[in-house]
Chains A and B, each alone.
Chain A
Amino acid sequence: MGPLQFIATSARFVLRGGKAYWLWVGFLVALIVWGVLAYIDQFNSGLIVTNMRDQVSWAFYIGNFTFLVGVAAAAVVLVIPAYIYHWGPIKEVALLGEILAISAIVMCLLFVVVDMGRPDRFWHLIPVIGHMNFPSSVLAWDVVVLNIYLVLNLVIVTHILYRGMQGRSYNQRLVVPLVLFSIPAAVGIHTVTAFIYAGLPGRPYWNASILAPRFLCSAFCSGPAVMLVLFQILQRTTNIAIKDAAIWKVAELMAYAMFINLFLLGAEIFKEYYSATEHLIHFQYLFTGIHGHHALVPYAWAFVCCGISAFLLFLFPATRRNVVTLNLGCLLIYASVYIEKGMGLVMPAFTPDTLGEIYEYTPTLHELRIGAGIFSTGFLVFTVLCRIAIPILTGQFAAVHAHAGRDSLRGRLTTAPTPHQPSAAGGRHL
């Protein structure tokens, strides 16, 4: 099986599906088109179609970018137990975590591109042909680590799927070092993203040592929350074998992360409110409003309440193993981190601005449409990759190929596996 055949086979998987599948894909494509049309507007008129201005120079796009870097990094929560401890149930779903990481990074890169004033000049960032300001610029570091992380996950996922199609297990000598390297890389992408903010002395709201640890903790809450919901959907819509024990294990890890996340938030709030320096004003804008400006106050309390309720639901084994309360907790923590790492991270730092001016920002419809289009793109990437991965994981691959009418493949798939080569029904071996 060559690369072209691999692509052709993958395409066949993606293009086969029932009514529900095509409705879902159609819905995503419609949102993408709606977003692309908004982006064409933005491309032609400039970022003036957003509500960003000099006082609030980053907003909705960069907030989403930051949040999604966390989702991507959280794949590591599954990878560590799966590959390091060879813990059975998680091993089967680790590949899906990596697919989620790919989808999240694709969204991250798109959010950065739509935020650029001159996306046509993206090549200026490329070393050698451009002029990358490395190592001085943390943003340059971020570009490097995000792309390394994307390539790592692409190579791992493609290799496993490619071998899976051949009915072979993955090459340990290739995959294991790459997976081991992806763990520091995952921590790296979110740490470097935090350092973009934390390294700015002119923005006291961000200029805190605690920022990178808070980023990582919140990522280990929100990323797995997405995964748990996705796993349950896959449990019900496909015949992939995801054991409840795997889901409970991830939920338990999330409970620890949520506690540390709330603790670090509390530590920061104590320091700001008790010492009450001039830096306090940004926290006041977030939690109580200042000078009659309270756009963020309801969101702030929403993220605190959602975060505390989710922690309580995940703290007790009974509630984190109950389908209803588990999913409620996932929704609550996802909402909490989305608000906190989106609006709650970016907006208060700019309000008031460095010269004391208060400009209250709310996203325009253009921004929301472009954001929806990017999220849909990410979901589409995830859907397509799962469409290829699940038949291979579940061993359906052979059945599909029996109808493909390719003698060569049929010949291969009916070949008895050698002792060292697992059969095509290789879900267990991934």
Chain B
Amino acid sequence: MPDPRTDAITCGDTEDDAKVDPVTLSRRDFLTAVGMAAAGFLAGCSPEVREAYLQKHFLELSPPEVEARLGRLHADYAKRFGTQVQVSALPAQPGVVFGYALDLSRCIGCRRCVYACVKENNQSRNPQIQWIRVLEMEKKKGIDFEAANPYYNPEQVPDPEHFYLPVACQQCRTPQCTRVCPVGATWQEPDGIVVIDYDWCIGCRCCMSACPYGARHFNWGEPEVPAAELNPNMHVLGNRPRPRGVVEKCTFCIQRVRAGRYPACVEICPVGARKFGNLLDPESEIARILREKRVFVLKAELKTEPKFYYFYGI
């Protein structure tokens, strides 16, 4: 009686093969083929592309690797924008947790903060991305998102019937967005700023579904920033130009605040509605507001515990 396992003569068909689980073998062959193809593809790329593609998660980089990445970014932006830029990777300072407060009784809805933010943080002009959304609310309804209008356009602001509520990233203490990210591309830094590694984000947009404040924005198309308007003072986790297909949001102007400056929106606000400082420093402006004013946070029932407070100062 012929044994099918030994008398079938086909290439590579040995007795050993017959005992191997066919799935693992064909899968191994398949993975080898894919691996070879990928290796071949990467070998054919320029070293810059290869390095960029294979780079590690930001938090796993050693100091020399961080330097190498900053060098690559400098070269890349110099080529793309024809100008010298400075990309910093300045870490959080010990003893600092940033907090923000916004005086709703002062805000006049002029949107200067929106445009200062766009300029400072190199947001795409086309398609348009804006990290701050100013909502026009009806005075008689109070804070009611259902009745809010972000596209208000009267002759003059403030309109007597309305008040204004600017919303950006609330820098939550228990952020929903970092919890859901499948690759850990967004996390909270020791100084409380929630950041995104634009080179690690896979663009699944889970964080956008999770954010209760509409603070996260996606690069649906290729972001466009005119070279003449590029802000050359950048932070690697902040306002450096983003690639297409990743998520971005407010970082409290990480490139400014870690260097001891105010966020751009605080500086530009013509009525002084925006307050900022170190929550851990009892002498700071933000700590004083929390002591002396009665503040509230948006959607407190969700327990996101924002470090962005609203109050009525007058």
Report chain A residues within 8 Å CB of B4: 1, 166, 408-409, 411-412
Per-residue contact bits, chain B 179-202, to A (CB 8 Å; 1 contact, 0 not): 111111100000000000000111
Interface size class of A (residues with CB under 8 A): 35 or more
Q: Residue-by-residue, is A29-57 near B (CB-CB < 8 Å gives 1, otherwise 0)?
A: 00000000000000001111010111101
Task: Considering the complex, give the chain A residue whose CB is closest to the CB of B212.
Answer: A202
Task: Knowing A54-B214, A57-B218, A133-B183, say if A46 contacts B176 (CB, 8 Å).
Answer: no
B146 touches A281 (CB 8 A): yes
From A3, A196, A197, A353, B22 is in contact (CB under 8 Å) with: A3
Measured in the bound complex, the distance between the Cα atoms of B158 and A96 in whole Å is: 66
CA distance in complex: A145, B21 (Å): 22
Are A117 and B184 in contact, with the CB atoms below 8 A?
no
Complex contact B219–A117 (CB within 8 A) = yes
Q: Is the interface of B mostly helix, strand, loop or mixed?
A: loop
Q: How far is the CB of B30 from chain A (nearest CB, A)?
A: 11
Tell me whether A408 and B2 are in contact (CB under 8 A). yes
Asked if A54 contacts B204 (CB within 8 A), the reply is: no
Smallest CB separation, A13 vs chain B (Å): 16
Chain A residue contacts of B182, Cβ below 8 A: 125, 132-133, 137, 139-140, 143
Question: By the criterion CB–CB under 8 Å, are A137 and B2 in contact?
Answer: no
**In the complex, chain A residues whose CB is within 8 Å of the CB of B214:** 54-55, 353-355, 357
Q: A179 to B243, alpha carbons, bound, how many Å? A: 44
Chain A residues 103 to 120 lying within 8 A of chain B, measured CB to CB, are 112, 115-120
Select which of B10, B145, B303 is within 8 A of A2 by beta carbon: B10
Does A309 sit at the interface, judged by CB under 8 A?
Answer: no
Q: Are B179 and A355 closer than 8 Å at their CB atoms?
A: no
**CB <8 Å contact, B22 and A130:** no
Which chain B residues lie closer than 8 Å to A349 at the CB level?
A: 209
B183→A132 contact, CB < 8 A: yes
* CA–CA, A55 and B18, complex, Å: 55
- Indicate with 1 or 0, residue by residue over A69-95, a CB within 8 angstroms of chain B CB atoms: 000000000000000000000000000
* In the complex, chain A residues whose CB is within 8 Å of the CB of B216: 54
Cβ-based interface call for A200 (8 A): yes
Most B-side CB within 10 Å, residue of A6, A50, A52, A162: A6
Within the assembled complex, what's the spacing in Å between the Cα atoms of A52 and B144? Answer: 25
Task: Judge whether A299 is part of the interface by a CB distance below 8 angstroms.
Answer: no
The answer to whether B12 and A4 have CB atoms under 8 Å apart is yes
Residues on A with C-beta less than 8 A from B148 are 355-357
Q: State whether the Cβ of B133 lies closer than 8 Å to any Cβ in chain A.
A: yes
| B side interface size, CB within 8 A | 71
Q: A200-B176, A412-B2 are in contact. Are A352 and B146 (CB under 8 A)?
A: yes
Cβ of B208 under 8 Å from chain A: yes
Cβ distance B250 to chain A, nearest Cβ, rounded Å = 14
In the complex, A196 Cα to B53 Cα: how many Å? 28
List A contacts of B304 (CB < 8 A). 201
B25 touches A (CB below 8 Å):
yes
Q: A8: which B residues are within 8 A, CB to CB? A: 10
- A203 is an interface residue with CB less than 8 A from chain B: yes
From residue A293, how far is it (CB to closest CB) to chain B in Å? 13
Other than the given A52-B220, A196-B180, A202-B176, 16 more pairs (CB < 8 A) read: A46-B222, A58-B205, A117-B205, A117-B246, A124-B185, A131-B57, A131-B183, A137-B182, A196-B206, A201-B304, A202-B212, A352-B146, A355-B135, A356-B146, A356-B147, A357-B150
A–B Cβ pairs within 8 angstroms, 14 of them: A1-B8, A5-B10, A45-B222, A46-B219, A46-B244, A48-B221, A54-B208, A117-B201, A117-B247, A133-B183, A137-B184, A197-B209, A202-B176, A355-B167
- Top 8 A-B residue pairs of the complex, sorted by shortest distance between their CB atoms: A117-B203, A202-B212, A117-B245, A48-B221, A356-B145, A2-B13, A2-B17, A412-B4
Where the two chains meet, the residues of A that have a C-beta atom closer than 8 Å to any C-beta of B are 1-8, 45-48, 50, 52-55, 57-58, 112, 115-122, 124-125, 130-133, 136-140, 143, 154-155, 158-159, 162, 166, 196-197, 199-203, 278, 281, 349, 352-357, 406, 408-409, 411-412, 415
